[in-house]
Amino acid sequence: FSTAVTRMKWEKLKPPEPDDPMCCCECDVSQKCFRLFSVTLYSWLKSRHLKCGFQSPVLQAITENLEISMIPALVLLPLLLRIAALHFLLGVTVLTILPILVLWYYYATHQKKRRTLFFLTLALYSLAYMYYLFITEILPRGDVSHIQLCTVTTGMILTIVSLINTKRGPGFVTPDLYDTHKHDKHERIEVNGDVKTTKKSNIGQWVQCPVCKIMRPPRAGHCRTCGACVLRLDHHCIWINSCVGQANHRSFLMTLGLFLVTSVYGMSLVLHSICPGHYVLTAAFYCPGVYAQFSTALCFTCVWYSGIITAGLFYLMVVQLLNISFNVTEREAQLALRRGTGHWRLCMAHLHYGSLHCKLAKMNL
């Protein structure tokens, strides 16, 4: 009877099925706000479409498919940054509206559960454009040495290489994985001439995915965007257009770390060049005469643009490190926090939920 009660408690504490993959940009408060904004804008566009009385291909594409061509977006980015460099107020306005539009498009596509290359292309294009301005605007000023230039270039190349390594795959669950573990449930080890049989894996902890209909190991989850189950699914990252799982989690963290170091170092070089005699933190908020020339104003605006991206990725890095310290994935943490299940349910989601802490938690329930 006690075993049945314990099993009922464990079934109650399991995450609900089917799984809902979380993304690195997702949190409950901002999700509700931008979802409300997205629904409102969608309703307004559709009402305008019905009132017009004619079929507009552009309006229909926005309201029905919510697809944005990458070519106009790539053209608009340098154009908006140059407009923002004309005046301080224009810079504040553009740098405030731009992240809102990007987040709105994210929630619009995330609600449709579809993959898109828009965010990955925008990230790579932003990186290339910032490096282009660094070479054409900052390097001719003579304030950057060859060693500093090589450091920035090396950091950018290592970031791209690490990103390519991350894109190789998160580690998908294959149908034959269950059969392999089922046959290799026990392994034989020879110690001092004696053959001992040890337990290799607990196949009873595997569950069937309600979408893929395949058996998957503990902590694996189904990503509706990728349409497959991922080993130790952390989240679906729109910026790499792929899931982050067991196979690419380390390279994903390495990509974040390399980008953060390179970005902070590059911004400090730019601020030292356009605001000589000022500290980096002081120059980011107060740089007299920076709008006297268009080139310095453009570089200053791009520093703030890079700073916004760096701040967002730094927050993502902190969240990832906290999850690693608690031995949970982002998917497990979001599912537990969204349903208010507390610390012990997070513990139940661990791969090692048979450890002492989880046993104590099960006894106290």
What are the catalytic residues? 237
Contacts of 333 (CB under 8 A, 6+ apart): 323, 326, 346
Bridge pairing between strands 235-237 and 242-244: antiparallel
**Rounded to whole angstroms, how far apart are CA atoms 147 and 154?**
10
Contacts of 174 (CB under 8 A, 6+ apart): 214
Buried b (16+ CB within 10 A) or exposed e, 118-153: bbbebbeebbebbeebbeebbbeeeebeeebeebbe
Tokens (6 digits) for 204: 């009873």
Q: What is the 3-state secondary structure (H, E, C) of 109-156?
A: HHHHCCCCCHHHHHHHHHHHHHHHHHHHHHHHHCCCCHHHHHHHHHHH
The span from the CA of 26 to the CA of 185, in Å, is 38
Distance from C-alpha of 81 to C-alpha of 147, rounded to nearest angstrom: 28
What are φ and ψ of residue 221, in 5° steps? -140, 160
Tokens standing for residue 127? 């990186």
